């Protein structure tokens, strides 16, 4: 087959085309599909489900301004057409009919009309219009039942796939025909059964040795049985079988015919043909709350997603070019976001996280609750302890103290003045002593519990898990108590030099971040102990007691390292927080310790903005977000300065 381009239109020369191909017949008469929709409840359920769920979404029109920006158009001709496709027809009904026609016939038609100077698209039932003539690429024109022909450019034709050509689609009803026929015949059988009074057909067997009946006896029995059967077993009384006669049913009863299972199978097959999860159309055999919630998301992504993309692109290809005005970058999109949103609580949490602060004004909330606006309610309320930028501090990242209930009741410093605090070295020594002593005590408790078990190696991890919650709560309290003091020591190191009156700074503001840091260090120290115990459990053998003692010693050593690391982080954080409150804008890395890391030694004197990170990726010495190799036992410090 050869192709030519004539007047910008792709066509065939006719060479190599199957004879009569231009007059290729359409598939089965479309009114058969309409009858299937009327008589088959499973088909109607599935198609109605698709059409209603697509129609309710609504269609918005946008103009693409850049790769990252767009504007919604409400006065564009396409937006006006989609808002009122035909006078007195809503967008919902219009989209519902298009989707229903494509789902049932795999073809949907609309005739372009110009009414009152505007383009309209009148949907036409596929039983009243069809493509005619032409070839497998495009029809010659569209023929209607009223005898009027329409040019190809005057018809919107949305269709699916057929192997024979590009001019129409092949209805899914063809692949479901046999299954639907079986369902139809089954329905007829059920109807016949109920019309017969729900009787089952059968035969009467009379023993061979029963006495002979004369004409009178035969007539009498026949009349009695006819009275019973014609009355459906209700009005005819109870039949009396004489001489050892026996009733033998013939055929299948409703249970044997599996009518319920057959109807469910038909619905499942119809749903599968349209890629719909069964629970969404009422087949709840294996439905749970969680999988139905997931299938709801699946519905708008995998089931309806292809339908929405198809319609959006068809509107852009077949309708948009005929509209007046500038259509550069214009496209339409179904409002699927409205259906993919979570609950109000989930949306509010996500919005707050994404924006980093309050995102609605008081008057916006009042309007949602049908309340009048109040004076001053159009401004966002931004708490004074919330800042912008990359600083991870209690001012923008830490939870409230109540978010960590197991760290309550701390013996915290009240005044926050240097006179109430020790030196940094003293506070770090106190933390180290307290953490090592606590670790040794917790390890001894585990050793005692393991030693009390009779027999060989006990389940050490089970013993460890039994005390996990209590240990974690105690660790958080211990680390938060000492951490609060260390953070204040670090803060006053900066305040004494740059802001002696501590204007704009409050120790209590740091507490939320310190509680979060205490929780993180507690979890890491607890995990270090668990790994040591797990290693003993895995090794097993008769020497497990010695192995457990060694693990306890290793955990105590880890406590010493953990205390030094946490102390550096907490002092650094306190100084950083005070620097921000004091209006300082630069921070300078100062390498400390007898044997500093090469990376830290190389960056000695490095200066960056207050909300920036240093070349090693840390915000401050001991930064918990950094790698262990950069933070463990770090003794570096920071200096601060204003811009310049």
Instruction: Look at residue 234 and give its three-state secondary structure.
Output: coil
Listed in sequence order, the DSSP H helices in 369-499 are: 424-451, 460-466, 468-498
The encoded tokens of residue 35 equal 């009858």
Q: What DSSP character marks residue 139?
A: -
Number of Cβ within 10 Å of residue 620's Cβ equals 26
- 624: closest CA among 487, 531, 518, 485? 518
pLDDT at 392: 39
pLDDT at 454: 57
Instruction: Look at residue 31 and give its three-state secondary structure.
Output: helix
Phi–psi pair at 630, nearest 5 degrees = -100, -15
pLDDT at 297: 66
Cα separation, 611 vs 633, whole angstroms: 24
pLDDT at 105: 93
pLDDT at 282: 67
Number of Cβ within 10 Å of residue 591's Cβ equals 19
With residue 570 as reference, give the H or E element that holds it. helix 544-581
The list of the chain residues with pLDDT below 70 reads 1-29, 183-201, 229-237, 250-265, 282-297, 338-357, 381-422, 424, 452-455, 644
Q: What DSSP character marks residue 320?
A: G
What angle, rounded to 10 degrees, do the helices at 305-318 and 91-105 form? 110
The encoded tokens of residue 615 equal 């070349």
The encoded tokens of residue 528 equal 């270090």
Number of Cβ within 10 Å of residue 150's Cβ equals 16
Cα separation, 609 vs 614, whole angstroms: 9
pLDDT at 73: 93
Number of Cβ within 10 Å of residue 132's Cβ equals 16
pLDDT at 373: 85
- b/e burial code for range 221-240 (CB count within 10 A of at least 16 → b): beeeeeebeeeeeeebeebe
Instruction: Look at residue 12 and give its three-state secondary structure.
Output: strand
Which residues touch 527 (CB under 8 Å, ≥6 apart)?
none
Contact 330, 320 (CB under 8 A): yes
- 336: closest CA among 313, 302, 360? 302
Q: How far is CA 451 from CA 246, 470, 529, 550, in A?
A: 80, 21, 18, 15
pTM: 0.48
DSSP 42-83: HHHHHHHHHHHHHHTT-EEEEEEEETTEEEEESSSHHHHHHH
């Amino acid at each position: 087959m050869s192709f030519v381009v004539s007047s910008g239109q792709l066509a065939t020369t006719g060479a190599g085309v199957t004879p009569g191909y231009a007059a290729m017949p359409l598939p089965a008469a479309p009114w058969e599909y309409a009858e299937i929709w009327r008589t088959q409840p499973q088909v109607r359920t599935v198609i109605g489900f698709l059409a209603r769920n697509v129609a309710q979404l609504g269609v918005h029109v946008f103009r693409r301004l850049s790769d990252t920006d767009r504007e919604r158009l409400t006065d564009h001709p396409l937006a006006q057409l989609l808002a009122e496709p035909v006078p007195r027809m809503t967008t919902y009904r219009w989209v519902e009919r298009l989707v229903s026609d494509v789902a049932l016939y795999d073809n949907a038609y609309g005739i372009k009309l110009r009414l009152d100077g505007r383009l309209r698209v009148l949907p036409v039932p596929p039983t009243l219009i069809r493509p005619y003539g032409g070839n497998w690429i495009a029809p010659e024109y569209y023929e209607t039942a009223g005898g009027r022909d329409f040019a190809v450019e005057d018809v919107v034709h949305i269709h699916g796939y057929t192997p024979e050509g590009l001019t129409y689609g092949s209805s899914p009803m063809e692949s479901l025909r046999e299954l639907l026929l079986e369902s139809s015949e089954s329905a007829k059988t059920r109807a016949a059964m109920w019309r017969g009074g729900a009787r089952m057909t059968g035969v009467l067997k009379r023993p061979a040795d029963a006495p002979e009946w004369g004409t009178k006896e035969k007539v009498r029995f026949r009349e009695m049985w006819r009275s019973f059967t014609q009355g459906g077993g209700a009005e005819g009384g109870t039949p009396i079988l004489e001489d050892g006669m026996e009733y033998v049913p013939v055929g299948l009863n409703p249970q044997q015919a599996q009518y319920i299972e057959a109807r469910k199978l038909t619905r499942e097959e119809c749903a599968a043909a349209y890629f719909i999860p069964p629970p969404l159309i009422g087949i709840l055999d294996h439905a749970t709350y969680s999988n139905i919630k997931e299938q709801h998301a699946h519905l708008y992504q995998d089931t309806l997603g292809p339908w929405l993309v198809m319609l959006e692109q068809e509107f852009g290809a077949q309708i948009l070019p005929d509209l007046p005005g500038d259509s550069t970058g214009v496209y339409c999109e179904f409002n699927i976001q409205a259906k993919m949103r979570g609950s109000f609580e989930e949306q509010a949490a996500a919005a707050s996280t994404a924006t980093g602060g309050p995102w609605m004004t008081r008057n916006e909330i009042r309007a949602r609750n049908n309340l009048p606006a109040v004076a001053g309610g159009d401004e966002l309320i931004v708490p004074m302890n919330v800042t912008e930028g990359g600083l991870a501090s209690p001012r923008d990242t830490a939870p409230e103290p109540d978010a960590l209930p197991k760290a309550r009741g701390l013996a915290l410093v009240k005044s926050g003045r240097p006179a109430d605090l020790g030196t940094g070295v003293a506070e770090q020594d106190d933390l180290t002593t307290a953490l090592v002593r606590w670790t040794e005590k917790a390890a001894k408790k585990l050793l005692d519990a393991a030693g009390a078990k009779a027999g060989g190696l006990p389940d050490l991890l089970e013993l460890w898990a039994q005390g996990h919650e209590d240990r974690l709560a105690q660790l958080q309290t211990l680390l938060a108590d000492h951490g609060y003091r260390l953070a204040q020591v670090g803060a006053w190191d900066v305040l004494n030099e740059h802001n002696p009156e501590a204007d704009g700074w409050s120790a209590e503001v740091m507490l939320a971040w310190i509680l979060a840091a205490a929780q993180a260090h507690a979890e890491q120290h607890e995990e270090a102990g668990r790994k040591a115990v797990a290693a003993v459990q895995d090794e097993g053998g008769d020497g497990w007691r010695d192995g457990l003692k060694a693990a306890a010693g290793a955990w105590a050593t880890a406590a010493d390292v953990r205390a030094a690391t946490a102390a550096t982080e907490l002092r650094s954080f306190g100084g950083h927080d005070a620097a921000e409150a004091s209006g300082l804008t630069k921070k300078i890395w100062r390498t400390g310790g007898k044997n500093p890391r090469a990376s830290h030694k190389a960056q000695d004197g490095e200066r960056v903005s207050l909300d920036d990170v240093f070349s090693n990726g840390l915000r401050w010495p001991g930064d918990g977000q950094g790698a262990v190799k950069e933070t463990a036992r770090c003794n570096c410090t920071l200096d601060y300065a204003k811009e310049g």
